[in-house]
Amino acid sequence: MKNLFLFLLVFPFFALAQNLKGTILDSKTKQPIQYANVSINQINEIATTDERGKFNLKLTRKLQENDSLYVSHIGYISKKISLPELKKVII
């Protein structure tokens, strides 16, 4: 199985209406991963990456410290990233 690499941009991170934007890349080749599923636990919204590996997840509530981001794609190891870890990869 291949590993996923996550590159995220969040604007704004702690606003009431939030969008979580980013790009999913193959961890070895750094090529974009098309049609990967991206979601936050306990939020029903799911985003799918486009042909450039980019996604835009519209959140219905403010993120909480116990939230995690989930990324999955057939042929890759699914990835779970906790919010504290997520803050480290935000630019």
Residues 11-44 have pLDDT tens digits of 444 444 578 888 888 888 889 999 999 998 877 7
Helix (H, G, I), strand (E, B) or coil at 4: strand
Higher pLDDT, 16 or 5: 5
- pLDDT beyond 70 at 2: no
Helix (H, G, I), strand (E, B) or coil at 19: strand
Q: In the prediction, which pLDDT does 52 show?
A: 94
Q: In the prediction, which pLDDT does 14 show?
A: 47
Work out the mean pLDDT of the chain and round it to a whole number.
Answer: 79
Helices (H) and strands (E) in the chain, counts: 1, 7
- pLDDT beyond 50 at 7: yes
Residue 69: closest CA among 15, 1, 4: 4
